[in-house]
Amino acid sequence: MLVNHDPTKITHPYFNDPTNRWLEGLTNSQHHALPAISSSAIKYWHKKKSPWAFYQKYVAKQVTPIEFKPEFKMGTLIHLALLEPEKFDKYVFVCDDAANTNKYKDFKDGILNSFKLPELLQPILSLDTNLSLDSIQGDVYVEAKEKSEEIAVAKKARAKRNKKSGDRDLEKVDGDDCITVEPIKNEIQKTEIKVSKNGGYIVGDEEVYIIKNHEMKMLREIQINAKEHTKYSLMLNNCAYIEQSGIARCPKTGLYLSCRGDARSDGGYFIDPKSANDVSLHGMESSQAYFLYFLQHAHYLYVANLIEPGKYDRFYFLYISKESPYEICFAHLDEESIKRSDALYLDILNKIAECEYKQKWPTSDNGNGVLISVPSWAFR
């Protein structure tokens, strides 16, 4: 099967600016929407070895989005705990109640409303220069939580009254004062909250996480272990850029490429945390092969050096064990692995560019079929 396509769909300049540059202030979702080839796209090509599958996912965008997986959530939390501790403390909360209980739902609503309600107060803040969003954040959280609790009490009272009178509209509060429950509920409780593929509740441009106490203890221990790892601590202190996107055009293929380093230093290196079940030498080497991290290594350094020529020469992997005592291991590829990774990476870019140039994206059998053999172990 061959697919013809519009060549302008695969990559093009971002906002019609063809210069190679770092992009300030892009969110994660905005980064993934860039009209450029990412390291994930490179790894997908190598894994599938099918131009047609690549076209469907990254050009036609017909592939079903990735669903939430627990490992995505933990990976994101580890990233926040190590690289953005201020955001971790602000957006990660602990609740040990089961997610299907009213107690958990009330806790969640109180937390999320504390982030949503300040948006409603922005017009008020613009009129009073003596107020600031930070100064009222705590009060807003308390008010949102109290409102959630008020609604929960009113619901229980209504259920009891319905058994006697069938009145479903009004609730008695504070003597003769009455409130209509449903409008309040609709305003605060029923606002749709989307959940990201990482398991976070999306509020504006941020994600709020609610985790269990044992998970928080694990993440705090990982933070402590990371601080006590001498080399990692020194290297991270020199990383001025966290989650900053970049875009550049490959001079050999004409493709626009994008990268978003977890941590980047003007000293010429990246640091990328990777959670793992096994941080032994064999475990880390196996993860490189299985998850194709070595292609990420090649892609990031290539794009960064297109933006700032000759500046970047190292990419460090910070492996974190997900099992107690949560060992930290700082690793980088040997010279032979780097050489082979770079060669394979450029070969993949050339193949993508060839498909773009010909405007044809064949399946792995090139539309002609293939001859396959049954593995010998199947006959044992």
What's the mean pLDDT in 305-330?
96
Percent of the chain at pLDDT exceeding 70: 76
Which residue is it, tokens 């498909």? Answer: 355
Which residue is it, tokens 């050096």? Answer: 305
Give residue 112's identity as a one-letter amino acid code: L
Distances (CA, A) of 37 to 52, 236, 254, 299, 380: 16, 27, 11, 10, 44
Q: In which order are the strands placed within the sheet that holds 21-23?
A: 21-23, 241-249, 256-265, 269-276, 314-321, 328-331
Prior bond of 309 cis (ω within 30°): no
* Cβ neighbours of 223 (radius 10 Å): 16
pLDDT (tens digit, 9 = 90+) per residue, 209-262? 999 999 999 999 999 999 999 999 999 999 999 999 999 999 999 999 999 999
Q: How confident is the model at residue 274 (pLDDT cuts 50, 70, 90)?
A: very high
pLDDT (tens digit, 9 = 90+) per residue, 347-368? 999 999 999 888 889 998 888 8
Mean pLDDT, the chain, whole residue set: 83
Domains of the chain, earliest start first: 7-66+225-358 (3.90.320.10), 97-211 (no CATH)
pLDDT of residue 143: 57
pLDDT of residue 194: 82
pLDDT of residue 173: 41
pLDDT (tens digit, 9 = 90+) per residue, 188-217? 444 567 888 788 888 887 889 999 999 999
Name, of 10-19, 237-246, 365-374, the range with top average pLDDT.
237-246
